[in-house]
Amino acid sequence: MKRRDFIKVAGLSAFAVATSGFELIETDGLFKTDCATSTDMLGPFFRKGAPFRNDLTFPGVTDEIPLKVVGQVFGADCKTPLKNIEIDIWHCDHKKKYDMDSASFKCRGKITTNENGEYWFKTFVPPPYGGRPKHIHYLIDGVEGYERLATQLYFKGDKKIKPNNWVKYRWDDRRILEIYKNDEDLSEVRLDLYLGKEG
């Protein structure tokens, strides 16, 4: 679901609240939801061919916060987990650079959701660069029946996040995450992703 397809107050004939807490909207006999993850720029640093792996760390990174990212991928009904979904993940390294050509694909990987739609990966909190806040890129593409999702994860407390700059739409707040300590006393964030229905 593209941002322009988000809930429009005028012309709604009915609504209901799904078990997930998202609204189901009926317009002209068609049901839509407001749960689809808001999109973000793909950016110039996407690189095809990243290896399948859950660990994006590498030796030599000592000053950045180690981080585990977890979440689930759901369908357009806001509650059905989607298994075997491939997700491209990438971010800049500790020197604020993107690896565009090395065979090691630093800070890049591809992961797949399990039977419950769950995913995880291990990395570190990337530094900000230029005017950009700290962020991690996501891309889900080629899933039959669903729109491509290019989005980004941000971190609460980052002073480079500005209204009407990186945060423009209601859903964007759900991509600005609080780092918490998990049961293993490791820094962790959770980003659940909701795909929009194609067409």
Whether 25 is covered by a domain: the verdict is no
User: What's the pLDDT at 21?
Assistant: 47
| Residue type present at position 170 | R
User: What's the pLDDT at 56?
Assistant: 97
User: Residues with Cβ < 8 Å from 168, sequence gap 6 or more?
Assistant: none
Whether 44 is covered by a domain: the verdict is yes
User: What's the pLDDT at 32?
Assistant: 54
Residue 75: pLDDT over 50: yes
Average pLDDT across the chain, whole number: 85
Domain CATH code at residue 156? 2.60.130.10
Q: 57 vs 165, which has greater pLDDT?
A: 57
- For 1-33, b where at least 16 C-beta lie within 10 A, e where not — what string? beeeebeeeeeeeeeeeeebebbbbebeeeebb
Query: What is the spatial distance between Cα 53 and Cα 19, in angstroms, rounded to a whole number?
Result: 33
The vertex-114 CA angle with 182 and 103, nearest 5°, equals 85
Residue 5: pLDDT over 70: no
Whether 58 is covered by a domain: the verdict is yes
Asked if 64 contacts 125 with a C-beta cutoff of 8 angstroms, the reply is yes
> How many structural domains is the chain composed of?
1
What does the pLDDT look like over 110-162, one tens digit per residue? 999 999 999 999 999 999 999 899 999 999 999 999 999 999 999 999 999 98
The residue segments making up the domain with residue 174 are 35-194
Q: Which of 11-15, 55-59, 129-133 has the lowest mean pLDDT?
A: 11-15
Whether 57 is covered by a domain: the verdict is yes
What does the pLDDT look like over 19-56, one tens digit per residue? 444 455 555 555 455 688 999 989 999 999 999 999 99
* Statement: the pTM of the whole predicted model exceeds 0.85: no
User: What's the pLDDT at 23?
Assistant: 52
3-state secondary structure of 175: helix
Residue 199: pLDDT over 90: no
